[in-house]
Amino acid sequence: MANITFVEASGQSTTVNLANGWNLMQGAIANGIDGILGECGGSCACATCHCYVDEARQGDLPPAAENELDMLENVAAERRPNSRLACQIKATAALEGLIIHLPETQE
């Protein structure tokens, strides 16, 4: 399990405890985090779970796969070097304390 903090565009932060194997999009939706839509249900087909990973922790994540990089070309908000799709990041104990910032828009 891992405690992950989601910081909404408004500045509101919420920390949720996610079971190993859950992706961050699932955790955000299940916990009512505003700013993650997840329209494709986590199949890496829409980019509505775009997020910004804490830059200091990027090395704790596996690199983005080609299909994720392709979908990141379609994000509605600014794409940054630390942009990821929350549906492609699975919770593990190694991600304990990770901070995820959400963009102002997903559409």
Which of 38, 43, 20 is CA-nearest to residue 91? 20
Each residue's pLDDT tens digit, 54-83 = 999 999 999 999 999 999 999 999 999 999
Low-confidence ranges of the chain (pLDDT < 50): none
Non-local (6+) Cβ contacts of 72 within 8 A are 47, 50, 64, 79, 83, 84, 85
Give this prediction's pTM. Answer: 0.95
